[in-house]
A and B are shown apart, each in its own frame.
Chain A
Amino acid sequence: MNAKGLFQRIRESKVYYSLIGLIALLIISSVAAPNFLSLNNFITIFRQASILLILSAGLTAVLVTGNMDLSVGATAGLIGCIVAQLIKTGMNVAVATLIGLMIGALVGVCNGLLAGILPGFVATYATNWVMTGLGIVVMHGQVIYDLPPSFTQLGVGYIGPIPNLVIFATIVVVIIYILMSMTTFGRHLYQYGANPLAARYAAVSVRTVMLSAYILCGICAGFAGMLMTARLNAADAAMGSAYGMQTVAAAVVGGTSLAGGEGGILGTVIGALILTIIVNVMNLLGIPSYAQGLVVGAVIIGMVLFDINSRIRREKKLDA
């Protein structure tokens, strides 16, 4: 493929506008903060983005079906705590990790079943509280630290110059990318999200589709929770809560529509990177943390507006 063909393909791709946003942010950042453009800083950015990436990758599958999962942060926190407790009792790390993933899947089943009878937004807002509460119960209101290195290594170790976290995030993103855009399962996710009724008339087993999206999301949350604990070398019931809305923001900034049927994992990767870079560059510039929220909020509004407007303009062009 020649350069022009490649450019054409990028232009037509759905992540085009989020990509423009990311590039603009990169340019502004490197001008504003001279120490931004360095290999070390980029590795830091990717490492900081890893857990957000894993969580929002799973969430994207749910959003594409037109549903919502507000519980990913709390689920991650809960599973991080459970796994820490299991390991503290002397359980083999591999077994504990596996149990963590299975609990994630189980949470997905609960969310999926509830979202079948209630609006997903409400159902998972409720399970969000349930998970947070369970986390406190599991921890007896305390914090655990000093976990064995065989476990913490997952979160703090490196392979060569690359942090393990980045490798895990890459693997998760690639798997979910393949699932969502190259398999019949993925096609059903989009089909269901674009029009649930038509999917039913098209002989798609819609309950299975929705349930599997939530299960995938739950497993990702479980995995992210364990990595969180390993990275911190500690478990605390509240550690996931900060991620709750941030995951939604990452997906939406990346162009995934809350109405379902549109968006994808590439956009979410871009969205998660944008959110992480903003914070990174503000730290480099020494902007106080109390002012950072203001900027993050403004960027989210700006990005989504830009994305929506550009899409509308492109659709009008197609319509003619």
Chain B
Amino acid sequence: MGKTILTAKHITKLFPGMKALDDVDFDLQEGEVHILVGENGAGKSTLSKCILGAYQAEEGEIIYQGEPVKFSGTKDALARGIAAVYQENSLVPYLNAAQNIFLNREYRTAAGLLDSKRMEKEAKDLLVSLNCDYINIKKPVKMLSTAEQQMVEIAKALSFKPKIIVFDEPTSSLSDREVESLFEQIHRMKAEGIGIIYVSHRMQEFPLIGDRITVLRDGRKIRTVGINDCTNEELVNMMVGRDVSQVYVRSENPYKEEALRVDNLYDRSGRVQGVSMVVHKGEIVGLAGLVGAGRTETAETIFGIRPMASGEIYVYGKKVQPKNPKQAAKIGIGLVSEDRKTQGLALRQSIAENIEAVSWEKDFPGFFVSGRKVEERALKYKDNLRIMTTSVRKACQYLSGGNQQKVVLGKWLNYDPDILIFDEPTRGIDVGAKMEIYALMDKLATEGKAIIMISSELPEIIGMTDCMYVMHEGRISGKLDRSEYSQERIGQLMMIGQEGE
């Protein structure tokens, strides 16, 4: 390991009414991957933003390459070699990959016009070096998948030839193959002496790339440990500050009745090709697969948001054909969608309004709305789901990811459908909130809901489900009962669509 490239000493960052960071020390060495973990609100992003120059700390100092520095902003930091790859990408949707990478520093020809050829060539080279030459650099990035956009974002950061890169949840929208090539790149960057700050919730990734881990909680540094000096369980305990021996809970299922049957379902775009599955009352059924395998599309077809081409859906034995989400909800099917910010919530509306979002007509059949009842209901879900907020009148945009997800859940709990589809219910939220959501799902199943759980995180789908359908390229490649679960079998079904010999 090389010499220290960055040291942050006694960093204190104040936000009105709270200390976001309280006397935090941090250091990064050349060629090191230093992982920052902690629950949402623990201060990970605030610390990385102080390093990136997006925030200026009230107290403490940052020493970069041996000298104390004060960056005036992210541009300043970037010019000195500190780049960032954010979870939510900052690309301009209508520009292509090359235009995005060279945004604001375009090459020009002798005549002063844009030198597209040169930019496209260099962009191509960058993407090839990231093993992403399949990305079409001439397409507007909004036509690329989330994962592809993420890789463009990384290519953009690398094009600045940085000495430090901050990754903020880079893998949350990537498929396994893309995660693998990202990690390859991270290893290559390490070998070149680039220091990497890596913010993530995904503990299974830590041993693959990390060197040291710093745990933050409530704005304070708890400890910095070497990657091999600490078990996952100890890490979680440090993060949440209490003992968490049991992450997943799954109770016995007392019911037998068939709640949902899907027969040979096709959607019109060809993303869902002949999916058949059965979900019983009180059961949590997993739908596993790679990103793009057609899991979300299957859920959306059942929910009526995506037009169905053929196939049959039965709810408690009765044949149904939801043509839109309204009909699906009436039948008793709810979908907790994948993207809470664009699909799940109206961020500018209040918590109370979002909790009513599906249920206005159901809760107020007399056409007139009672503001008092809306607020009472919201308070009930605030307590039951432990949504951390000062008021249910607050707009959802001010909540942390975990609390936003709880509002989305509250929205469907309030409507109370018999069948609930959870699409990536714990993406991007912290361990504490995850555990609460697991416990809630278990409780709902025990109360007699039929649940489908879509997840890209194998440990959670293995831990939470009674049986599992694995999808591969739009088809069900296999069904496994809980007793048959193993990472290898599921992995094979996901990756190659069949079990090996």
From known contacts A183-B368, A184-B364, A195-B342, infer whether A204 and B326 are also in contact, taking CB-CB under 8 Å: yes
CB pair A203 B328 closer than 8 Å: yes
CB pair B346 A194 closer than 8 Å: yes
Q: A309 interface residue, CB < 8 Å from B?
A: no
**Cβ contacts A to B, 25 pairs, < 8 Å:** A183-B369, A184-B360, A184-B369, A185-B367, A188-B360, A190-B353, A191-B346, A191-B349, A194-B346, A195-B348, A198-B342, A198-B346, A199-B346, A201-B325, A202-B358, A202-B411, A203-B325, A203-B328, A203-B415, A204-B325, A204-B358, A261-B346, A261-B348, A261-B349, A320-B17
CB-based nearest A residue for B328: A203
Min C-beta distance of A67 to chain B, whole Å: 16
From known contacts A191-B353, A318-B394, infer whether A198 and B326 are also in contact, taking CB-CB under 8 Å: no
Contacts of B125 in A (CB 8 A): none
Partner of A203, one of B329, B347, B348, B394: B329
CB pair B360 A201 closer than 8 Å: no
CB-based nearest A residue for B300: A201
Which residues of chain B in 331-346 are interfacial with respect to chain A, using CB atoms and an 8 Å cutoff? 335, 337, 342-346
Classify the interface of chain B: helix, strand, loop or mixed.
mixed
Bound state CA distance, A188 and B357, in angstroms? Answer: 8
**Shortest Cβ-Cβ A-B pairs, 5 listed:** A320-B16, A194-B346, A203-B329, A195-B346, A202-B357
Which residues of chain A in 143-182 are interfacial with respect to chain B, using CB atoms and an 8 Å cutoff? 182
CB-based nearest B residue for A316: B16
Q: A194-B347, A198-B345, A203-B328 known; 18 other A-B pairs, CB under 8 Å? A: A182-B369, A183-B367, A183-B368, A184-B360, A185-B367, A187-B369, A190-B353, A195-B349, A197-B342, A198-B343, A199-B357, A201-B335, A201-B343, A202-B358, A204-B357, A205-B324, A320-B15, A320-B18
CB pair B348 A262 closer than 8 Å: yes
CB-based nearest B residue for A179: B367
CB-based nearest A residue for B327: A203
From known contacts A184-B369, A318-B395, A319-B398, infer whether A203 and B342 are also in contact, taking CB-CB under 8 Å: no
- Report the count of interface residues on B (CB-CB < 8 A): 35
Q: A9 interface residue, CB < 8 Å from B?
A: no
CB-based nearest A residue for B398: A319
Which residues of chain A in 193-217 are interfacial with respect to chain B, using CB atoms and an 8 Å cutoff? 194-195, 197-205
Min C-beta distance of B43 to chain A, whole Å: 16
Bound state CA distance, A262 and B324, in angstroms? Answer: 27
Chain B contact residues, CB within 8 Å of chain A? 15-18, 305, 324-326, 328-329, 335, 337, 342-349, 353, 356-358, 360-361, 364, 367-369, 394-395, 398, 411, 415
Min C-beta distance of B365 to chain A, whole Å: 9
Contacts of A184 in B (CB 8 A): 360-361, 364, 367-369
Min C-beta distance of B307 to chain A, whole Å: 13
From known contacts A184-B361, A184-B369, infer whether A200 and B346 are also in contact, taking CB-CB under 8 Å: no
CB pair B345 A187 closer than 8 Å: no
Contacts of B337 in A (CB 8 A): 201
Bound state CA distance, A191 and B398, in angstroms? Answer: 18
CB-based nearest A residue for B367: A183
- Report the count of interface residues on A (CB-CB < 8 A): 26
CB-based nearest A residue for B395: A318
CB-based nearest B residue for A262: B348
Contacts of A190 in B (CB 8 A): 349, 353
Contacts of B361 in A (CB 8 A): 184
A104-132 near B? 1/0 per residue, CB < 8 Å: 00000000000000000000000000000
Contacts of B353 in A (CB 8 A): 187, 190-191
Min C-beta distance of A184 to chain B, whole Å: 4
Contacts of A317 in B (CB 8 A): 16
Min C-beta distance of B401 to chain A, whole Å: 16
Contacts of A191 in B (CB 8 A): 346, 349, 353, 357, 360
- Among A186, A202, A320, chain B packs the most CB atoms within 10 A around the CB of A202
Min C-beta distance of A43 to chain B, whole Å: 33
CB-based nearest B residue for A205: B326
